């Protein structure tokens, strides 16, 4: 038997953005409901060492951090529901969401915090070595490769920015690109080519990531030349896959304005979408920073704006009477 849930603030997604929105919304008496989605806790649940989230002097584990954040949200009055949304109606308020089991969720306001996933190469060794030398976020994990040899794979803005960032930690950074020219902005290319710590390998694709050592971790990358088919190998301690991210917005593409490969468009400097009462926060709208702490910050902003939206609406109704 299906059920219908109604709340002042409905939140889709349970990563740092969604849970921060829930904490602030609950403290404002909005009794939020969080629909947790396919990956409760978001990307941090598949991240081992987290060293850059404020408040912890020692390295913490991503899954533990999200468990604590979830418990905090529940302790102040948030209701967590394990479900995946398969259909939405944003044409009127309350906003209506349908779960894959038929349950109905109604929200006077809606906070979309469904996040984004890094795109992967899907080659041998990539999954097995994730967190053991292979990463999709240099700003998250680059610190662990201080003084080591690293490679960055990709040719767009993200890849060039990651390569430049890694020069803060490594004097030996190699950018591997499958074409003979980069797709990134010229100003970024100029910075890349001028940096003596960075070399570029053109016309190369990754055949596999190679493990070794004790305990086993990344020791190198096997490559294939895209023009000649020649195989080669580059030894490395760290590999950063930087071929873009895919925001989880497929279900909203007919309802909201999407930009830059599927990110939800918001009013600059805010989590407000074009639909009054509907907010987007975290990696689903942020294609620039993509950090847990910035996601949490925009989640806070979404909750504050949602509370103010309802308060203004209530005031206007009272004034009209």
Maximum separation of any 2 CA atoms in the chain, in Å: 78
Q: Provide the terminal-to-terminal Cα distance of the chain, rounded to the nearest Å.
A: 40
Q: Is 141 a catalytic residue?
A: yes
Q: How many CB atoms lie within 10 A of CB 303?
A: 29
**Choosing from 108, 140, 281, 283, which is the catalytic residue?**
140
**In whole angstroms, what is the distance from residue 120 CA to residue 303 CA?**
32
Report which of 111, 81, 82 is spatially closest to residue 95, judged by C-alpha positions: 111
**Choosing from 83, 137, 283, 286, which is the catalytic residue?**
137
Q: How many CB atoms lie within 10 A of CB 311?
A: 11
**Choosing from 141, 283, 286, 305, which is the catalytic residue?**
141
Residues recognised as catalytic: 137, 140-141
């Amino acid at each position: 038997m299906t059920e219908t849930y109604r709340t002042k603030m409905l939140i889709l997604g349970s990563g740092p953005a969604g849970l921060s929105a829930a904490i602030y919304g609950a403290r404002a008496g909005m009794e939020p409901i969080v629909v947790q989605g396919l990956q409760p806790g978001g990307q941090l649940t598949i991240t081992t060492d987290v060293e850059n989230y404020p408040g912890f002097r020692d390295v913490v584990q991503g899954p533990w951090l999200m468990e604590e954040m979830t418990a905090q949200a529940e302790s102040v009055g948030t209701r967590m529901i394990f479900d995946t949304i398969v259909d939405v109606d944003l044409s009127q308020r309350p906003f209506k969401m349908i779960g894959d089991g038929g349950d109905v969720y109604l929200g006077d306001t809606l906070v979309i915090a469904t996040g984004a996933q890094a795109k992967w190469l899907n080659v041998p060794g990539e999954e097995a070595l994730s967190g053991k030398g292979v990463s999709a976020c240099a700003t998250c994990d680059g610190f662990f490769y201080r003084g080591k040899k690293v490679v960055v794979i990709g040719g767009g803005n993200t890849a060039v920015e990651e390569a430049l960032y890694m020069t803060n930690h490594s004097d030996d950074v190699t950018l591997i690109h499958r074409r003979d020219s980069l797709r990134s902005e010229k100003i970024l290319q100029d910075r890349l080519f001028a940096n003596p710590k960075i070399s570029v390998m053109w016309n190369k694709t990754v055949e596999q990531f190679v493990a070794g050592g004790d305990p086993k971790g990344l020791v190198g990358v096997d490559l294939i030349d895209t023009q000649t088919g020649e195989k080669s190998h580059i030894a490395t301690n760290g590999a950063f896959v930087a071929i873009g991210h895919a925001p989880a917005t497929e279900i909203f593409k007919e309802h909201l304005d999407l930009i830059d490969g599927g990110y939800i468009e918001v009013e600059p400097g805010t989590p407000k979408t074009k639909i009054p009462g509907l907010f987007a926060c975290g990696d689903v709208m942020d294609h620039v920073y993509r950090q847990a702490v910035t996601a949490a910050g925009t989640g806070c902003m979404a909750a504050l704006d949602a509370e103010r939206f309802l308060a203004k609406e209530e005031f206007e109704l009272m004034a009209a009477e």
